[in-house]
Structure 1
Amino acid sequence: MAMPDFQTLMRPVLEFAAGAEERSMKETYPVLADQFQLSEEEREQLLPSGRVRLFRNRVAWAVTHLKKAGLLEPRRRGVYAITSQGKKVLVDAPERITLNYLMQFEAFREFRSQRSDNERSNATAETVEQPTPDLEDEGQTPEEALAKAWKEIQENLESEVVDQIKQVSPAFFEQLVVDVLVSMGYGGERLGAARAVGQSGDGGIDGIIDEDPLGLDVIYLQAKRWEGMVGRPEIQKFAGALQGRRAKKGVFITTSSFTREAREYASMIDNRIVLIDGYRLARLMIDHDVGVSPVERYVIKRLDTDYFVEE
């Protein structure tokens, strides 16, 4: 069974609430997950932020909208109960309670009206008035919509970064690799962090970077701008160069990608070789602000219920 959206969850939440004087969010999550036969993987699935479980987020928003409609009421932190109005709704409500259905309740209409007024007050003079969307289309929670937009922006930026690094000179690419590794905490200071980068005829080694600021261990690098996919022979050559230096760790970075055989070989040998393709390199650059700069920053906050506890 597919993961239900938050509107599909509203009637099951209401039915579950009707089975006891009050319910906690903690007990609601597993009951509904069992009802929809979710796998363990689906129950643990996170939003792109990596901090909130997707299913729990949807259940929480289902509860929130039912409260706004007056069908549920809060009792205390993390605990809710069905109202008399909520019990009446269960008698004749459709199989799937939606936001459109909740619009019949004055409390919910006021809630939506307040939100619309806030959106209009924040609009600029140039904003074109758009028709009111069908609430049935709101299948995503606000966190999901934000996460989806963030993911699209991130993927577009990754593509732009990959296209850009494919156009730089070999020397600039080698410097870029060092900048990324230093920004990740390798090599200590930028000056002198890497050695022998770009020197040919060194048995497949393009550079050496300190693993820690004190230089107690080193990592050997292969940094190549590549047109086609990097195959197993290139990784074998790099592994041989590492063995020749009695080295255990290496990083092979390319602007392109690796074949399945190359990845399998790197995972089987004793030497620890990390393969970084163009898109992974782009993600590392974005994560560590190499070649990119912040434009906007949004901070999502939650209510601190502990603050409002009176002694």
Structure 2
Amino acid sequence: MEDKRMGRRKIDSRIPRYQNLIDVTFQVLKMLGGSGTVQEITNKTVELLNLSDDIVDFPHSDSGNQSELEYQLAWARTYLKNSKVIMNSERGVWSITSEYSGIDNIDVKTIIKKTLDKRSNKVQIKDATNEQQENLNDDNSDEVPEEIRPWRKRITDVLMNMDPYGFERLSQRLLRECGFSQVVVTKKSGDGGIDGTGKLRINGIFSFNVAFQCKRYKGVVGPGEIRDFRGSLTTDIEKGVFITTGTFSKAASEEASNPGKQQIDLIDGEDFINKLAEYEIGLREIKDYEIDEEFFKTI
């Protein structure tokens, strides 16, 4: 929700802000052995801070495929990367740089200042007071974390406005690129939640019959929908894949991986877009450069 008078979003006060997640993210990566995916970082943060489901599932107001916690964590990673504390690979794995691999504690204030100094070329603020700095940290309304680019919002809008069958065919294409074969989209109604089936072969030896469901909407998929999908799987189906342009609630993720039940693999909106980019399905990479202005000042 936007506060039009202040020009800032109102966020549930229980959700940790990225200023408080910078050190948490660094410690979480150390706990994970020095590296981790976005999902691993998020899950470990939830565990470490003992966050409740309603805090974890609270949606980010500007995006239907990301929670507010994920958004704040993305900002924390951006600040850490700007200070060369962590880096990310093309496959979306974040890791602690060699310079900081042997360090147990980081100076959060210095890390924040480095990013503020980098942004000061635009806002002309280099020596902000603590109050000014707090206000600037709370207001990123005109910017987005480094890993959340404008094209991602645009492709999200494109996906949301696609023909429903077109989205299913897109999911079919994506699964094929991921190694599935004999992928068939079910077009008849009343199919019990199954939108398609396919076969996944691993290492050219092991194969599994897979059914998938596509849910194209902005919002949170709950555990009930996972249970309904699982209940629709016939005995010949060995794996289920649930695809959504939205997000999965914490309870839905736990339900999908319940050890006493048939496992359901989940692909949320961020994962879906990442895969489209990885396989260049409808997307074409355009090279760009970040200017290190400090380099030109000090050389």
Per the normalisation by structure 1, the TM-score is 0.47
**Computing the radius of gyration over CA atoms, which structure comes out larger, 1 or 2?**
1
Per the normalisation by structure 2, the TM-score is 0.48
More strand by share: 2
Greater relative contact order, per chain length (Cα 8 Å cut-off, separation 6+): 2
